[in-house]
Amino acid sequence: MKSLWAVGMLLVVAGCGPQYTIPNYETGEIEKVISSGRSPQACIETLKEDAQKLNVKVRLTDVHHEATSGPIAWLYSNTYICTGKVYGAKS
C-alpha cells in the first residue's frame, strides 16, 4: 500500500506531459523536439535540456498553453507545450 502511495505522489510531483520527438521520415533524423513545463520559462528550459540529451540544436518554434480539465488536474499536469525545430547536431 505504501509503495502505491509513493508512486502516486511521484506522479503528482513529477508531472505528466508530452516530451517526445518527431522524426523526418525521409532521412530518419529527428525533426522536432516537443517538451512540456508548468510555465513558459520552465517549458523552454526543459526543451533545452531535452535537446542537449539528444545531442541536437533546436530553435523554439511554438509555446502554447494546454487546457486541463478536472478539479485537481493542475496538480499533476504540465500545461505549457514547447516545440523546437532541429537545425543541426551538436559537435
Query: Residue 89 and residue 28: Cα distance in Å, rounded?
Result: 14
Residue 47 or residue 17, greater confidence: 47
User: Across the strands, what pairs with 84?
Assistant: 33, 60
> Which residues fall within 8 angstroms of residue 46, CB to CB, at 6 or more apart?
19, 35, 36, 37, 82
Residue 53: predicted pLDDT = 92
CA–CA separation, 74 and 29 (whole Å): 34
User: Which residue do the cell numbers 525533426 mark?
Assistant: 31
The predicted-structure confidence for 32-70, as pLDDT tens digits, reads as follows 999 998 889 999 999 999 999 999 999 999 999 887 777
**Domain ranges in the chain?**
2-89
Q: For position 72, what pLDDT does the model report?
A: 73
